[in-house]
């Protein structure tokens, strides 16, 4: 098993980041994400906690030889469970690949929380556990290393893409505020 962890601060308050997260896809940095479908959503009216289950469709650039050996295509599916706690100001997203999980399992946890030292920032923590299945035991370490490197690259590109989404979101919010102010005159 290979582990990955990173922590990053976004210079935006938690309310903006947690709202913009739902607008993350599509974005130019992550063209591999083809669709995000909400399967289920529920709110606990006592706590205000929103739980959402989504199916994410991605197209992976898997070498054709590996696809032939494994008998798979380029389209992959990921299940994600998101939990937003507005009182604690946390958004926790847990995902696991559904496609080829018996060969390679990638379990990811992302947490967005109000920064403990600055309420104008959001702390982003991303963790992943990557493990090759028993059928791959002979090649497990090589496959896990390759997958970890690819995951690290995709994580950096994903953060960059989300930063652009946040910038767009701020511009739209400022424009809306400007329009409201203009209407009030």
> Cβ(18)–Cβ(11) under 8 Å?
no
Q: What is the pTM of this model?
A: 0.85
Residue 22 lies in a domain: yes
Structural domain range at position 22: 2-177
Residues facing residue 3 across a β-bridge:
129
Q: Which pLDDT value is given to residue 177?
A: 72
Taking only the tens place, the pLDDT of each residue in 91-127 is 999 999 998 888 889 999 999 999 999 999 999 999 9
pLDDT in the model for residue 181: 64
Model pLDDT for residues 57-74, shown as the tens digit of each residue: 998 777 676 666 667 778
The candidate with the shortest Cα–Cα distance to 49, out of 15, 76, 16, 84, is 84
Rama region for 71: left / alpha / beta (φ>0; ψ in -120 to 50; rest): left
How many Å apart are CA 142 and CA 138, to the nearest integer? 9
Q: Give the integer Cα–Cα distance in Å for 113 and 84.
A: 10
Is residue 182 domain-resident?
no
Residue 185 has pLDDT above 60, yes or no: no
Name the domain count of the chain: 1
CATH of the domain at 34: 3.30.530.20
């Amino acid at each position: 098993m290979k582990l990955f962890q990173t922590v990053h601060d976004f210079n935006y308050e938690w309310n903006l980041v947690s709202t913009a997260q739902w607008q993350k896809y599509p974005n130019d940095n992550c063209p591999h994400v083809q669709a995000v479908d909400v399967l289920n959503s529920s709110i606990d009216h006592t706590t205000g906690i929103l739980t959402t289950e989504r199916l994410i469709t991605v197209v992976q650039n898997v070498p054709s030889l590996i696809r032939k050996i494994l008998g798979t295509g380029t389209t992959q599916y990921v299940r994600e469970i998101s939990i937003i706690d507005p009182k604690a100001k946390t958004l926790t997203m847990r995902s696991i690949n559904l496609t080829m999980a018996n060969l390679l399992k990638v379990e990811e946890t992302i947490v967005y929380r109000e920064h403990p030292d600055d309420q104008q920032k959001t702390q982003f923590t991303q963790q992943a556990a990557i493990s090759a299945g028993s059928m791959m035991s002979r090649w497990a370490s090589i496959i896990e290393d390759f997958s970890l490197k690819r995951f690290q690259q995709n994580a950096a590109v994903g953060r960059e893409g989300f930063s652009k989404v946040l910038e767009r979101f701020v511009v739209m919010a400022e424009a809306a505020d400007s329009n409201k102010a203009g209407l009030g005159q």
